[in-house]
C-alpha cells in the first residue's frame, strides 16, 4: 500500500562521492533506478560498481552527494521515518544471540517492535526454518543464519525487502535455500530489491533487472525485454553429426558468418544479418555435406547480457 502508484524505489541522478587522499572517488555516478511494485528486481554489477552504496543511501545509512531518492513515492531520507515501517533490509549481518534458539531470537525482536508472537512463527515458516527453529543459533549453518536474518526483516511484514548479496559466502545448498525463500516472497507479492554480483543467481529469480557498472546504469528493464533486446544481435548455436572441427572449418568459409567458436559439442557464431540469414547458413552446411542436428539462435542469456553491458570489467 504505497502513497503513490509509481515505483516503490526510485532514484534520479543519484550521486555519491567519497573523499580520498588523491581527490574524490565517484561510487555512484548519476543513477536512475526504478523498481516497480511486486516481484524480485535484480541489482547486478561487478564488485565496486556502487550497489551497496546505493542501498545504504536509500536506507539513510549514507548521505547522497546529490540527486533524489523516493521510497513508496516519499522523498528520502527526509520522509524515511514515515516509510521505514514498510521496509525490511538485510545489509549487514544482524546480531543474534548465539546461545538461544532462532525462534527465541525472533520472538525477542518481534516483541521489541510490538508485533504479535504469531508473526515470528509465520516468518520462520516463510524462510523454511520450521523444525530447526528450536535449535541454538550458534549451531546453525550459514544458510540457516542468513534465512533467520531474512525472517527478522519479515517481522514487520514489509512491502519492500532490500537484500544486499544475501547469498554471499553460502555453499550451493545454502544459496538454493535462500533463493527459494526470495522467490516465494516475490511470488507472494513482496517487492524485493536483490543486489548480487552472481549472474546465475538472478536469471531465474528476477522479473526485472538493473545492471550497474562504475556507478552507472548500463542496462535496465523487465528481464524478458532485456533478453529480447540482446538476442537481436544474433548469436547462433549449431551442432552437426560430423563434429565441431568440421563444422567450424565450414562456418569459416561462409561469408555471412563471423567469429565461429567451439562451445562444448556445438559451435557458436555471430550472424550480423540476423534471423533471415539462418536458412542460408543451413543450406550452405547441407550443401557442404554436413548433417545439421541443431541450428538455433542463442537466447539473451543473463551472463551474455551482463558481460556485454559491463564489458566484463571489474574495478
Binding interface with ligand ATP (CB under 6 A): 18, 25, 27, 45, 47-53, 197, 315
Q: Determine contact, residues 16/86, Cβ cutoff 8 Å.
A: no
C-alpha cell at 177: 535455500
**Closer CB to ligand ATP, residue 50 or residue 166?**
50
**φ and ψ at 292, to 5 degrees?**
-80, 120
- Nearest-approach distance from CB 191 to ligand ATP, in angstroms: 20
DSSP state of 308: H
- Nearest-approach distance from CB 300 to ligand ATP, in angstroms: 23
- Nearest-approach distance from CB 213 to ligand ATP, in angstroms: 9
**Closer CB to ligand ATP, residue 4 or residue 24?**
24
C-alpha cell at 151: 525472517
- Nearest-approach distance from CB 144 to ligand ATP, in angstroms: 23
- Nearest-approach distance from CB 215 to ligand ATP, in angstroms: 7
Q: Is the dihedral angle over the CA atoms 200, 54, 66, 23 positive or is it negative?
A: negative
**Closer CB to ligand ATP, residue 25 or residue 261?**
25
Which residues have CB under 8 Å from 38's CB, separation 6+?
A: 186, 189, 190, 191, 207
Q: Is 118 exposed, middle or buried (0-12, 13-18, 19+ CB in 10 A)?
A: exposed
**Closer CB to ligand ATP, residue 51 or residue 119?**
51
**Closer CB to ligand ATP, residue 32 or residue 263?**
32
Amino acid at each position: 500500500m504505497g502513497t503513490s502508484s509509481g515505483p516503490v524505489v526510485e532514484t534520479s541522478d543519484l550521486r555519491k562521492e567519497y573523499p580520498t587522499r588523491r581527490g574524490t572517488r565517484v561510487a555512484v555516478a548519476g543513477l536512475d533506478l526504478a523498481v516497480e511494485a511486486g516481484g524480485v528486481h535484480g541489482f547486478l554489477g561487478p564488485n565496486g560498481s556502487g550497489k551497496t552504496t546505493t542501498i545504504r543511501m536509500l536506507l539513510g545509512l549514507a548521505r547522497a552527494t546529490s540527486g533524489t531518492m523516493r521510497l513508496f513515492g516519499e522523498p528520502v531520507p527526509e520522509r524515511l521515518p514515515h516509510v521505514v515501517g514498510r521496509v525490511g533490509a538485510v545489509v549487514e549481518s544482524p546480531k543474534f544471540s548465539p546461545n538461544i534458539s532462532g525462534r527465541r531470537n525472533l520472538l525477542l525482536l518481534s516483541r521489541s517492535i510490538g508485533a504479535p508472537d504469531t508473526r515470528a512463527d509465520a516468518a520462520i515458516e516463510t524462510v523454511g526454518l520450521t523444525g530447526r527453529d528450536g535449535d541454538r543459533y550458534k549451531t546453525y549453518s550459514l544458510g540457516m543464519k542468513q534465512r533467520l536474518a531474512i525472517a527478522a526483516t519479515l517481522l514487520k511484514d514489509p512491502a519492500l525487502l532490500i537484500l544486499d548479496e544475501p547469498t554471499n559466502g553460502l555453499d550451493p545448498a545454502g544459496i538454493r535455500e535462500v533463493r527459494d525463500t526470495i522467490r516465494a516472497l516475490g511470488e507472494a507479492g513482496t517487492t524485493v530489491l536483490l543486489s548480487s554480483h552472481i549472474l546465475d543467481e538472478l536469471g531465474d529469480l528476477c522479473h526485472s533487472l538493473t545492471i550497474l557498472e562504475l556507478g552507472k546504469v548500463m542496462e535496465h528493464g523487465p528481464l524478458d525485454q532485456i533478453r529480447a533486446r540482446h538476442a537481436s544481435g544474433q548469436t547462433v548455436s549449431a551442432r552437426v553429426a560430423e563434429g565441431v572441427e568440421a563444422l567450424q572449418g565450414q562456418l569459416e568459409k561462409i561469408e555471412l558468418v563471423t567469429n565461429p567458436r567451439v562451445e562444448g559439442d556445438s559451435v557458436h557464431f555471430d550472424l550480423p544479418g540476423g534471423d533471415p540469414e539462418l536458412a542460408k547458413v543451413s543450406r550452405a552446411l547441407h550443401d557442404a555435406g554436413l548433417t545439421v542436428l541443431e541450428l538455433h539462435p542463442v537466447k539473451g542469456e543473463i551472463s551474455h547480457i551482463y558481460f556485454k553491458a559491463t564489458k566484463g570489467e571489474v574495478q
